[in-house]
Amino acid sequence: MIRIHRQLLAYAAILLFCSSLLAQSPEALPQKPTQTAPQTSAERNQEQCDAYRKAMEDADQKIAAEVKAHSELIKNLEYLTTEIGPRLTGSPQMQAASQWTLKRFQDYHVEAHLETAEIAHGWTRGVETAAITSPVQRRIGIHALGWSKATDGEITGSVMALNIAKLSDLEAYKGKLKGAIVMLRKPYDLSQEDPNPENAYDAVIPPSRGIPQPNQMDWRGRLQLIKQVAAEQPALVLMDSGKPDSLFSMAGGFTGYSASDVPMAFLTHEDYDLIYRLLQAGAVTMKANLQETFSEKPVPASITVAEIKGSEHPEERVIVGGHLDSWDLGQGALDNGTGAMATLEAARALQALGWKPKRTITFILFTGEEEGGIGADTFLKNHAAEIPAIDAVLIHDTGTGKVFSISLDNLWETAGLMHEIYQPLQEVFALQPLSTRYFGSSDHVPFLNKGVPAYFCVQLPAQYREAHHSQTDTFDKVVPDQINEGAALLAAWAWNVSEMPQALPHHAEPTSPMD
């Protein structure tokens, strides 16, 4: 009921302000809004609204020109991915990246510092081998999930495949999994994937379609399943990477940066499917050896925070950011070196222009987005008293593709002001209308859970499905023109928000945390 009420208020605001924004292409937009929403004009007349729009159009064009002429994004991204490499949270490489980005902000004369927390254990991938030993003999690739415990040397076991639709289905396997090598589910049916996803997010987290099935497990249910399977003491739990072309996926870190209860690993979809099909005909045995290691003591995990101080409202913050950490199979280029270096470039461009924003613009390179979310949590903990003065947050986290929209993320009460902020961006960067979708699973979500208006860049796929968490997440996949435009958009959005006379409204903290 409350959500419906918020939607109705927002739709009314949009219609009153400019009814065509969410329905027309940029080319079809009227040159001036026909009527002003109450949220945006309570203390401003039409002339003032028009003056804001014209000033932001001019500023956004200058920001785009500065990035196009002088961008250092690709140079920085190549150094990050090639000289530093992949960046697991708490690893020496991640800490080196934090120190290096601190220096890069300072090189651009942007005030910056590190904010550091600790995680229980750092984790390092070791030698990983596997083979099918019967009924055929075949070596196969294998990669442990992050923070998986190691196997006790080379282990050998019979393979068992689970067929579980709901948690109660596990009862049929109780007492039968000890010492087994367990396949957690049937192989994915890759033929069901959308061949042309609308955006990069949907390429890796497909939107739900159709009527929800009763007892369908969400991610919390799947974690509970893993916990219950582990209690049965299997020797190893196997998961399908769910990608074509022998690409691996990666996940983990959901055990509080401590060792998992049992060794867990990904196989390629092709090998996982082969073992499953062999199992339908008879017994299958395998051997595997995962030699992962953990730090003995807690290790540091830092975020890089930089800012350009506001001239009129320095206590108010506009935040843009992306996570600097990555998985370790590739180079961490598209997930999320691109977003992190776009944030760095946005800071460079705004500082180079020499402008003084009305509100403080803060640039954050998070850690732990891939593994546990410690980066955003660290910032919110350190700045708890300042949360009411955070005007808005925008996160860039789905690769190299063009940003073609910004998601409203169910913040219906902000729609009127977001229209004003967004319209100049739409004109300068040829954007589609604001997305009314909700996109979760990134560093904006902890801010949403604190009541802060937080938004997400919606991007073209640009090979994101293949690169995401895989060994092909490498520098050669980067599209320079598109990611440079993304950096300019981050800077322009931050500027537009900083200059908006009114602050975007906060919302009540949700009773159930958003994902």
Residue 513 lies in a domain: no
Span 242-275, pLDDT tens digits: 999 999 999 997 789 999 999 999 999 999 999 9
**Residue 427 shares a structural domain with residue 466:** yes
Count of domains observed in the chain: 2
Query: Final residue of a domain: which of 274, 294, 314?
Result: 294
Mean pLDDT, rounded, for 484-510: 97
CATH of the domain at 269: 3.50.30.30
CATH code of the domain covering residue 321 = 3.40.630.10
Which of 247, 275, 294 is the endpoint of a domain? Answer: 294
Q: Cα–Cα distances in Å, from 477 out to 10, 196, 329, 348, 360?
A: 39, 18, 15, 24, 34
54 in the same domain as 144 = no
pLDDT for residue 442: 96
Of the candidate ranges 41-50, 113-122, 316-325, the one whose mean pLDDT is the lowest: 41-50
Output the pLDDT for position 255: 84
25 and 52 in a common domain:
yes
Q: Sorting pLDDT into bands at 50, 70 and 90, what band is 87? A: very high
Would residue 190 count as lying in a domain?
yes
Q: What is the three-class DSSP state of 365?
A: strand
Residues 419-444 have a mean pLDDT of 96
Same domain, 442 and 368: yes
Residue 175 reports pLDDT greater than 60: yes
pTM of this prediction? 0.91
| pLDDT tens string 375-412 | 999 999 999 999 999 999 999 999 999 999 999 999 99
Q: Tell me: do 108 and 159 sit in the same domain.
A: no
Which amino acid does the sequence have at 326? S
pLDDT of residue 64: 98
User: Is 169 among the domain residues?
Assistant: yes
Residue 505 belongs to a domain: no
The domain boundary residue, chosen from 294, 321, 350: 294
Q: Is residue 151 a part of any domain in this protein?
A: yes
Is the domain of 208 the same as that of 221? yes
Least confident of 13-22, 224-233, 434-443: 13-22
Whether 278 and 244 share a structural domain: yes
Which tokens sit at 456? 């997400």
Q: Are residues 57 and 112 both part of a single domain?
A: yes
One domain for residues 358 and 429: yes
Q: Same domain for 67 and 200? A: no
Q: What are phi and psi of 169, to 5 degrees?
A: -65, -20
**pLDDT at 29 > cutoff 70:** no
In a domain, 401, yes or no: yes
The verdict on 264 and 203 lying in the same domain is yes
Residue 212: exposed, middle, or buried by beta-carbon count in 10 A (0-12, 13-18, 19+)? exposed
What integer pLDDT is reported at residue 42 of this predicted model? 55
* Sign of the dihedral through C-alpha 271, 273, 278, 283: positive
pLDDT at residue 504 greater than cutoff 70: yes
Q: Is 391 part of any domain?
A: yes
Contacts 24+ apart (CB under 8 A), 436-441: 436/22, 436/407, 436/408, 437/207, 437/407, 437/408, 437/409, 438/407, 438/409, 438/410, 439/201, 439/407, 439/409, 440/514, 440/515, 441/201, 441/205, 441/515
60 is in which domain, residue-wise?
2-117+298-499
396 and 459 together in one domain: yes
Which of 299, 346, 323 has its CA nearest to residue 396? Answer: 323
> Is the pLDDT higher at 47 or at 11?
47
- Asked if residue 508 belongs to a domain, the reply is no
